[in-house]
C-alpha cells in the first residue's frame, strides 16, 4: 500500500483522516492502525475510491 500517496490524496481532497474514518464508519484510531499496517477491507477501499475520487486504485492500495 502506498501510504504516503493515500495521505496526500486525502489532504488534496480537503479532508482529514478523521473525515475519512467517519465516512468508513470506524474510529480514527482504527483508521490509523489500518493505514499504518496497509490493510483495508475491499468495502473500505471501495468507499475511499468513491470519496476521494481515486483514478488508479491499484497504484494506491497495491503499490509501494
Whether the CB-CB separation of 7 and 60 falls below 8 Å is answered with no
Cα–Cα distance, 35 to 26 (Å, whole number):
12
The C-alpha cell that represents 16 in the structure block:
482529514
Per-residue pLDDT tens over the stretch 11-63? 999 999 999 999 999 999 999 999 999 999 999 999 999 999 999 999 999 87
Thinking of the domain 3-54, which architecture would CATH place it in? Orthogonal Bundle (1.10)
Cα–Cα distance, 50 to 37 (Å, whole number):
22
Domain boundaries, the chain: 3-54
Cα–Cα distance, 59 to 27 (Å, whole number):
25
**Whether pLDDT at 64 is above 80:** no
Would you tell me the crossing angle of helices 17-24 and 28-37 to the nearest 10 degrees? Answer: 100
Amino acid at each position: 500500500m502506498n501510504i504516503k500517496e493515500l495521505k496526500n490524496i486525502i489532504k488534496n481532497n480537503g479532508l482529514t483522516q478523521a473525515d475519512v474514518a467517519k465516512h468508513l464508519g470506524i474510529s480514527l484510531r482504527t483508521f490509523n492502525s489500518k493505514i499504518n499496517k496497509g490493510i483495508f477491507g475491499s468495502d473500505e477501499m471501495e468507499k475511499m475510491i468513491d470519496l476521494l475520487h481515486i483514478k488508479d486504485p491499484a497504484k494506491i492500495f497495491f503499490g509501494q
